[in-house]
Amino acid sequence: MAGSSEKIYSIDTKTLIKVLSNILEVMRTNEKYLTKLDADIGDADHGINMVRGFEKVMELISQQNPEDIGTVLQLTGMGLLQVVGGAAGPLYGMLFLEASKPLKGKKEMTVQDFVSMLEAGLRAVVTTGGGTQPGEKTMVDVLHPVVEKLKKMVSERSDLDFVTVLEEIVPYARECVIKTIPMLAKRGRASYLGERSIGHQDPGATSTYLIIRTFLDTLKGRKGVKISEYDESSGKMLKEEYI
């Protein structure tokens, strides 16, 4: 798959499991960075939470050896609900649990399925958070615009392959993360900081971006990226390196 320019129109169960195992690597590599972002405006546990969560996910997957995409996503949600504390557990847990529903029993995920999956995941995050809106400095600030853009892309073009779609989506998701910096936090622990939450990049939006981009990296034969340089004061991502 590495360096291949071949068009990928569907992702199978094995590839999805590879994406998840790469997400675990990406979380491990960026644990300190995510924790730093969370230390600035939250409770400094986002990095360790994501690592623990995806370790559990990979443990469940290797124990149960799921054969379809829906079950893989369901186990992902369950693993996160089992071990991740704080708000990240319910938010990411319900995201994957609901995302599994449109993919139930399927062994291949098309681009359209990918969009349905993220759309269901976004709905779960909004509901779990108690009606989170874009602009409140959360993971919704990445998920919402990404889902909207994906829906637009698939409605305009029917022959889309994964790499074409993700190569457009990933830089867009990155911009969305950067846009959380000037936002005033209205949800979670950061909201208690009021004005002091302004000027910091949101950790949840950042991990959501890393997850989305790991789909692209995996399909291109890579593991993912490490945020190798960032602005000390805002946490703004400055440079990424492949791991």
Partner 1 sequence: MVGIVIVSHNKKVSEGIKEIIEQMVGKSIRVACVGGEKGRLGVSVEEIVKAVEEVFDEDGVIVFVDFGSTVIGAKTALSLLSEDQKSRVFIANAPILEGAFVAAVEASLGKRIEEVLKAAEEARNMEKS
Which C-beta is closer to partner 1: that of 90 or that of 235? 90
Number of amino acids touching partner 1 (CB under 8 A)? 19
114: which residues sit within 8 A by CB, 6+ positions away? 11, 150, 162, 165
94 contacts partner 1 (rule: CB under 8 A): yes
194 contacts partner 1 (rule: CB under 8 A): no
Here's the x/- map for partner 1, 125-154, by CB under 8 A: it reads as ---xxx------------------------
Phi/psi at 236 (5° precision): -55, 130
Considering only 17, 91, 147, 165, the residue that binds partner 1 (CB under 8 A) is 91
Please count the helices (runs of H) and the strands (runs of E) in the chain.
Answer: 9, 4
User: CA 54, CA 150: separation in Å to the nearest integer?
Assistant: 25
108-116, 124-132, 214-222, 227-235 -> range binding partner 1 (CB under 8 A): 124-132
Is residue 187 within 8 Å of residue 138, measured between CB atoms? Answer: yes
Which C-beta is closer to partner 1: that of 82 or that of 110? 82
Which C-beta is closer to partner 1: that of 79 or that of 102? 79
32-40, 90-98, 141-149, 215-223 -> range binding partner 1 (CB under 8 A): 90-98
Here's the x/- map for partner 1, 25-54, by CB under 8 A: it reads as ------------------x-x---------
Q: Which of 230, 207, 218, 225 is nearest to 162 (CA)?
A: 218
**For residue 159, what are its two tokens?**
């022959």
Which C-beta is closer to partner 1: that of 79 or that of 224? 79
Q: Which of 61, 68, 95, 90 is nearest to 211 (CA)?
A: 95
188 contacts partner 1 (rule: CB under 8 A): yes
Which C-beta is closer to partner 1: that of 83 or that of 178? 83
Phi/psi at 238 (5° precision): -115, -35
Phi/psi at 239 (5° precision): -145, 140
User: Residue 203 Cβ, how far from partner 1 at the closest point, in Å?
Assistant: 13
CB atoms within 10 A of CB 183: 21
What are the residues binding partner 1 (CB under 8 A)? 43, 45, 81-87, 89-91, 93-94, 128-130, 188-189
